[in-house]
């Protein structure tokens, strides 16, 4: 054992480079002038072992930070690639908001800024209101901002989920697979066909996230009255879970559009001369 330890420790030798020098019997770095060796008593005998000088330690830290940033960029790109079926939704960002609903915009930005707290508490949002009010846009802005921070998010709809056959995997496995996401967006809830199969999927996904205390963002054209007082028991179970975890926000404006979209539309009109 002693022989093996000795071999390992003897391998911890400092590399002498141009400019390095000996002081007090140990090697010093010629750049930062800190020791590259240290003296230690090992098995009753004084030994000299290699160590990192300050500039070597800084270089290691810088490399570790560069590697961390590289892994983060790779993770962000992977999460973005897997977030939406329609990659154009990645363009829904706060900088493209026309700021016609400043209170809503500010609330959405606050949600992203404090998402760590909302994630810990399992708290999400419920955007409701008229068609074309900007519900999907604001929801995607939140997702895309969080994607840029390195969070894993998923934007989907229940019709899209229903297109995936249970024959390919176990139902429980299907539902719990959505728990791998920090934030799940369900867009246009209430527009799906009312079938037993669809209701099973809706309840399964919502209940699984609810049980795991993971946040969701739901967008719907339904009124808050319809959400609070659904006609049937199955929807009552679903909406009660949503309202318990998702803060309702009404989007009253109609025809909310991207700032750049409006600019492009004006440009198109000018080109067409109409």
**Domain harbouring 96, CATH code:** 3.40.50.300
Report pLDDT digits (tens) over 220-247. Answer: 999 999 999 988 888 899 999 999 999 9
Q: Roughly what angle, to the nearest 10 degrees, separates helices 135-148 and 54-83?
A: 150
Closest CA relative to residue 57, chosen from 81, 80, 31: 31
In a domain, 61, yes or no: no
Same domain, 147 and 200: yes
Residue-wise pLDDT for 73-129, tens only, equals: 999 999 999 999 999 999 999 999 988 999 999 999 999 999 999 999 999 999 999
Q: Give yes or no: residues 138 and 242 share one domain.
A: yes
List of E strands, 83-156: 124-129, 153-156
**Residue-wise burial string across 72-107, b where 16 or more C-beta atoms lie within 10 A, e elsewhere:** eeeebeebbeebbeeeebbebbbebbbeebeebbee
Q: Which residues contact 186 (CB under 8 A, 6 or more apart)?
A: 156, 157, 158, 205, 206, 216, 217, 218, 219
The two tokens of residue 80 are 């973005």
Structure-token pair, residue 243: 């309202």
Average pLDDT of the residues of the chain: 86
Residue 206 to residues 34, 62, 245: CA-CA distances in angstroms?
59, 43, 10
Q: State whether 233 and 137 are in the same domain.
A: yes
Question: Is residue 64 in a domain?
Answer: no
Whether residue 165 sits in one domain with residue 36:
no
For residues 249 and 127, the answer to whether their CB atoms sit within 8 Å is yes
Pair type for strands 21-23 and 26-28:
antiparallel
Q: In the structure, what pLDDT confidence band is assigned to residue 186 with cuts at 50, 70 and 90?
A: very high
pTM of the model: 0.76
Domain count across the chain = 2
Span 124-141, average pLDDT: 93
Same domain, 97 and 207: yes
Asked whether residue 161 is domain-assigned, the answer is yes
Whether residues 146 and 187 share a domain: the answer is yes
> Where residue 254 falls among pLDDT bands split at 50, 70, 90?
low
Whether residue 224 sits in one domain with residue 115:
yes
Residue 205 in domain:
yes
Decide if 199 is inside a domain: yes
The DSSP letter of residue 97 is B
Statement: residue 55 has pLDDT above 80: yes
Same domain, residue pair 165 and 209? yes
Q: Which of helix, strand or coil describes residue 112?
A: helix
Q: What is the dihedral of CA 211, 216, 220, 224, to 10 degrees?
A: 60
Residue 74 lies in a domain: no
Closest by Cα among 34, 4, 58 to 14: 34
- How many angstroms separate the Cα of 184 from the Cα of each of 86, 96, 254? 16, 22, 25
Q: Kindly state whether residue 164 falls inside one of the protein's structural domains.
A: yes
Residues 147, 152, 155, 160: what is their CA dihedral angle, to the nearest 10 degrees?
A: 150
Its domain, for residue 244, covers 83-261
């Amino acid at each position: 054992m002693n022989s093996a330890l000795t071999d390992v420790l003897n391998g911890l030798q400092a590399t002498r480079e141009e400019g390095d020098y000996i002081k007090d019997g140990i090697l010093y770095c010629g750049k930062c002038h800190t020791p590259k060796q240290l003296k230690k008593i090992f098995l009753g005998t004084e030994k000299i072992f290699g160590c990192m000088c300050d500039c070597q330690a800084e270089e290691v830290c810088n490399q570790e930070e560069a590697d961390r940033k590289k892994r983060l960029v790779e993770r962000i790109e992977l999460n973005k690639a897997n977030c939406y079926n329609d990659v154009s939704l990645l363009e829904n960002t706060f900088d493209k908001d026309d700021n016609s609903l400043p209170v809503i915009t500010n609330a959405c930005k606050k949600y992203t800024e404090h998402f760590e707290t909302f994630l810990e508490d399992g708290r999400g949002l419920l955007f409701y209101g008229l068609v074309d009010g900007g519900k999907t846009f604001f929801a995607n802005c939140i997702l895309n901002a969080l994607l840029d921070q390195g969070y894993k998010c998923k934007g989907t709809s229940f019709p899209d989920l229903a297109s995936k056959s249970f024959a390919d995997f176990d139902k429980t496995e299907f539902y719990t697979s959505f728990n791998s996401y920090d934030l799940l967006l369900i867009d246009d809830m209430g527009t799906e066909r009312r079938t037993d199969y669809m209701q099973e999927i809706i309840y399964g996904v919502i209940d699984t996230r609810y049980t795991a205390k993971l946040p969701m963002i739901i967008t719907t054209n339904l009124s808050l009255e319809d959400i609070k007082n659904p006609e049937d028991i199955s929807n009552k179970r679903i909406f009660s879970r949503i309202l318990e975890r998702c803060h309702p926000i009404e989007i009253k404006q109609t025809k909310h559009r991207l700032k750049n979209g409006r600019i492009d539309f004006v440009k198109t009109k000018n080109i067409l001369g109409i």
